[in-house]
Amino acid sequence: MIDHLIPILAGTLAAATPLVFAGLGELVAEKSGVINLGVEGMILIGAIAGFAFATQTGGGAGAGLIAGAVAGTLAATLFAILSLSLGANQAAAGLALTIFGIGLSAFIGQSFVSYSLPGLKPWDIPLLSDIPVIGRILFHQDWVVYLSWVVALAVAWVLAKTRLGLLLKAVGESPESAHAIGYPVIAIRYGAVLFGGAMAGIAGAYLSTVYTPLWVQNMSAGRGWIAVALVVFATWKPGRLMLGAYLFGGMTILQLHAQGLGIRVPSQLMSAIPYAATVLVLVLISRDRKLLQLNLPASLGKSFMPGG
């Protein structure tokens, strides 16, 4: 039994990693009061940029991830100019970015359909990977999974322990007050949105260069939307976000295994299970209104223009 479970649980971590990156990025952006619905588009742009760069330069997954981060940041810059500098509606600008990302990635991707990449081999963490069962699950992963933990810890630490985190929360709650006491609201929001873009770009590049190392049109398959939903249901807390991401990853792997066992349920229905289950569970655990109220960035989605 354990022998069957280990690959499932280990696979869960890899399957969840794009969500962890994209979700953390969106969490930071939303903490600053900006809701970016362009995550799906930024993931796809990151995916094709990473894949193209990795195949063209032969630089491997590492180069791909960097290219993905750069491309995601550029895409986010586009969104930031529209919504932060020009005061466009955040929801509309984000949706436009997603549509743009889907189209652009499909267009560029046409010439990369036949390529493939070697992916990444797992790294065993010395000593830790020797722990029975847990070691095989947690510490026998590719290095990007470890990187996602580092990023998660860093985001949690910055939000909880630093002046920057405090400032992010303050700007997200009341940009007017933050402006009144003399903080550069727009610059801080730019920073948060661009970070979100970089993370979404890495998420996409991980999909196309490591997780399934080839290009398939629309390969993010709605993960960007799940990431946006995760942030809300996680009540803007990094720990809960990780939990939600791994839940989704687990369900993805489980239904793949179930399909492999030949259970007679239409595969489309099976593929929908992770999405439905994640949303259901997160709705249930986020019913605590007090928690939601205390953590919701009060100015989320409202544009702010510093006036005289």
Partner 1 sequence: MLTTAPLDHPPPTGEPRLQLLHITKRYPSVVANDDVSLTVMPGEIHAVLGENGAGKSTLMKVIYGAVHADIGEIMWNGRQVHIANPAAARALGIGMVFQHFSLFETLSVVENIALVIGGKFDLPALAERVKSVSEKYGLPLDPNRLVHSLSVGERQRVEIVRCLLQNPQLLILDEPTSVLTPQAVRKLFETLRQLAAEGVSILYISHKLHEIQELCDTATVMRGGKVTGHATPRNETPASMARMMIGRELPVCHAEPYTGVSAPVLQVRGLTQPTDDPFGTPLEGIDLTVNSGEIVGIAGISGNGQAELLAALSGEALVASDMVRVGDKPAGALNAAQRRDLGLVFVPEERLGRGAVPSLSLTDNALLTAHRQGMVKNGLVNYAAAKDFATRDIARFDVRTGGAASAARSLSGGNLQKFIVGREIMQTPKLMIVAQPTWGVDVGASAFLRQTLIDLSRQGVAVLVISEELEELFEICDRIAVLAGGKLSEAVPKQQTDAEAIGLKMSGLFAGTTHGGSHASA
**Smaller CB distance to partner 1: residue 113 or 166?**
166
Residue 171 tokens read as: 């700007």
User: Which contacts (CB < 8 Å, 24+ apart) does range 282-288 have?
Assistant: 282/229, 282/230, 282/233, 282/234, 282/244, 282/247, 283/233, 285/233, 285/240, 286/232, 286/233, 286/234, 286/235, 288/235
- Does position 292 interact with partner 1 (CB under 8 A)? The reply is no
Residue 215 has what DSSP assignment?
A: -
- Does position 167 interact with partner 1 (CB under 8 A)? The reply is yes
**Smaller CB distance to partner 1: residue 212 or 295?**
295
CA 15 and chain centroid, separation: 12
**Smaller CB distance to partner 1: residue 77 or 174?**
174
Q: Which of 174, 271, 286, 303 binds partner 1 (CB under 8 A)?
A: 174
Site for partner 1 in 271-290 (CB under 8 A): 289-290
- Does position 89 interact with partner 1 (CB under 8 A)? The reply is no
Minimum distance from residue 170 beta carbon to partner 1 (Å): 5
Among residues 13, 46, 8, 26, which one has the least CA distance to residue 206? Answer: 46
**Helix boundaries (H) for 134-266:** 134-138, 143-161, 163-173, 175-180, 185-206, 223-233, 238-260
Q: Which of 183, 186, 221, 277 binds partner 1 (CB under 8 A)?
A: 183
Q: Rounded CA gap, 150 and 146, in Å? A: 6
**Smaller CB distance to partner 1: residue 10 or 170?**
170
**Helices 39-57, 223-233: inter-axial angle, 10-degree rounding:** 130
**Helices 39-57, 90-109: inter-axial angle, 10-degree rounding:** 30
Segment contacting partner 1 by CB under 8 A, of 17-25, 106-114, 177-185, 219-227: 177-185
Segment contacting partner 1 by CB under 8 A, of 73-81, 97-105, 133-141, 161-169: 161-169
Asked if 69 contacts 75 with a C-beta cutoff of 8 angstroms, the reply is no
- Does position 308 interact with partner 1 (CB under 8 A)? The reply is yes
Q: Which of 128, 133, 263, 298 binds partner 1 (CB under 8 A)?
A: 298
- Applying CB under 8 A, what is the total number of residues that bind partner 1? 20
**Smaller CB distance to partner 1: residue 4 or 290?**
290
Strand partners, 124: 140
- Does position 263 interact with partner 1 (CB under 8 A)? The reply is no
Binding site for partner 1 (CB under 8 A): 162-163, 166-167, 169-170, 173-174, 177-178, 180-183, 289-290, 294-295, 298, 308
